[in-house]
Structure 1
């Protein structure tokens, strides 16, 4: 019985062990009763260590410049990947999909956010978007974050825009004619996204939806990076059951929608 239990444990490698998310993932995997942490690599470590360690699932929490090559290496060696690094645009996702087509049975999860509450807030924003005239997104993060807007905010804007287009909703009303300093924020698929970088924050996002006489606010706050680990572990446990590319943790969550 003990031998069978050991064989069922998931052999996991974490890339980005020295980062804030990566170090948290190392602890989470190490503490998980059904996982073995077989490798934890820094940014410049040799990826061949993943093969020598016999990793079955690779968790990539590195930086945008490295993530594509890391995942390409994992897939080429038949390893599943759970990815929380930003930098995956449509072209990169298409390239990854093509690679996965040549590796049947291999799964990759690319998740803009691993916090369950954030994933639900994204889904609720998508559901609500078709019922309101106006929608904007504000995301707030710590000042060490490398990208703006955040991957979560960009993905939320894309989902919201698609839902509004499918429902035939007109663009949000906006009489702005002059904005030389970009005060209206980034335009992501027609949705304005505003980024705040402030000391003391971790990860926070609010979707603001408005109609005449009413407003709906959907906000999620992560006060500690441990909030992301539930989703990381869900991804590790589920990725082998979902061959091909899954974009967003909601693909592994039974939301009944």
Structure 2
């Protein structure tokens, strides 16, 4: 990397919990350059993003102008990357804007619908601009999902419980939905009912998603991100669980995606496809 220009990176949602971690990780990466920091929170406007992130001054002010920042990134000699950790209501437009400017999006914001993901994939392919959408950047979660796929060969009953902090805007989590999708793609139906079920209170059995799989969402302060995939069979229960205690655990996956997205000309969904 010594003879290569650093990758210009724009962090969208730079003042948020995940955004701050990304700022620190990019600032410490020798092959990257933090070019811009965008956030809508008026509390952070004009402040040095390094001071907000707690890693010392970086001489990059936080502004509320994504389009202008993307335009600035276009001027760089090396193709730029936008890392988005914002809000489900804005992530689709943010990602389209980045692709339109020729900036490669790395999207960690969840809440995109399947239709929106398909539209972004078509848009990025037409533009020959790489795009990476990752519900969960943790290597441990990738390993859990791989273990769940292996277990599904031997268990016909499975439910998913995900727990996040109470500031998470969307439910179920993108990770839980992705896990259910991966299990459903194996071509079997799960949880064939033994009796006719009746919910005395709507939602008591969670949300039924692909191929009979149910997801239960918890939102509690003190949590970061946690998921259990619970398999059941006569006489046994097999539980796979992943817990995060620090958002820094996601940063190796984020940095990997920033490096890999430059090599792509279409959209990739899921960190496991980059490993």
Question: Considering the TM-score relative to the shorter chain, is it more than 0.5?
Answer: yes
1 CA distance for matches of 2:87 and 2:190?
Answer: 37
1:86 and 2:110 are equivalent in the alignment: yes
Q: Secondary structure at the match of 1:82?
A: strand
Which of 11, 23, 27 is matched with 1:30 structurally?
A: 27
2 CA distance for matches of 1:220 and 1:151?
Answer: 15
Q: Over residues 204-256 of structure 1, what are the superposed CA-to-partner deviations in whole Å (9 max), with x where a residue is unaligned?
A: 00100111122211110111111111111110011112220101000101xxx
Dislocated runs of 4+, deviation >4 Å: none
Structure 1 residues 43-62: aligned runs within 5 Å: 43=40, 44-53=64-73, 54=76, 56-62=80-86
Structure 1 residues 128-207: aligned runs within 5 Å: 128-163=151-186, 166=187, 168-169=188-189, 171-181=191-201, 182-189=203-210, 190-207=212-229
CA apart distance, 1:147: 1.1
Alignment match, 2:234: 212
Relative distance call for 1:212 and 1:160 in structure 2 (3 A) is same
Size of the aligned set, in residue pairs, is 246
Q: Secondary structure at the match of 1:243?
A: coil
1:13 and 2:10 are equivalent in the alignment: yes
1 CA distance for matches of 2:159 and 2:90?
Answer: 31
1 CA distance for matches of 2:24 and 2:72?
Answer: 21
CA apart distance, 1:46: 3.7
Structure 1 residues 222-241: aligned runs within 5 Å: 222-241=244-263
Q: Over residues 51-94 of structure 1, what are the superposed CA-to-partner deviations in whole Å (9 max), with x where a residue is unaligned?
A: 21436111011111111111111111111110001122111012
CA RMSD of aligned residues (A): 1.7
Relative distance call for 1:6 and 1:59 in structure 2 (3 A) is farther
2 CA distance for matches of 1:29 and 1:172?
Answer: 47
1 CA distance for matches of 2:5 and 2:92?
Answer: 29
User: Whose helix proportion is higher, 1 or 2?
Assistant: 1
Relative distance call for 1:174 and 1:59 in structure 2 (3 A) is farther
2 CA distance for matches of 1:244 and 1:233?
Answer: 19
Structure number with the bigger relative contact order (C-alpha 8 A, sep ≥ 6) is 1
> Which sections of structure 1, spanning at least 5 residues, go unmatched?
none
CA apart distance, 1:45: 2.5
Alignment match, 1:108: 131
2 CA distance for matches of 1:56 and 1:108?
Answer: 12
2 CA distance for matches of 1:209 and 1:177?
Answer: 19
